[in-house]
């Protein structure tokens, strides 16, 4: 019971293609790629959001300090 050889993987691949067909596998690949792309964009937006919040907070603090100096 060792690891699978290349021949085992080829047999599995042939069986999967026969069961699902190439068009269905192609569609599944597109869907998976779209999901991964959406996930990456969501992660990018999540990391950019705290920067925007911090920038807004610092602008608010600057405005309050200016008001205090003018009063």
Task: Say if residue 1's pLDDT is above 70.
Answer: no
The pair phi, psi for residue 3, each rounded to 5°, is: -75, 160
Task: Say if residue 4's pLDDT is above 90.
Answer: no
CA dist 44 and 48 (Å) reads: 6
Q: Between 4 and 1, where is the model more confident? A: 4
The predicted pLDDT at position 45 comes to 84
Instruction: Look at the pTM and tell me if it is higher than 0.85.
Output: no
Contacts of 28 (CB under 8 A, 6+ apart): 20
Q: Between 16 and 69, where is the model more confident? A: 16
**For the segment 50-68, what is each residue's pLDDT rounded down to a tens digit?**
665 655 666 666 666 777 7
């Amino acid at each position: 019971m060792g690891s699978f050889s290349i021949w085992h993987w080829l047999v599995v691949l042939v069986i999967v293609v026969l069961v699902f067909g190439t068009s269905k596998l192609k569609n599944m690949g597109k869907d998976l790629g779209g999901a991964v792309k959406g996930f990456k964009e969501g992660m990018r937006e999540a990391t950019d959001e705290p920067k925007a919040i911090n920038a807004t907070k610092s602008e608010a603090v600057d405005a309050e300090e200016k008001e205090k100096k003018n009063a």
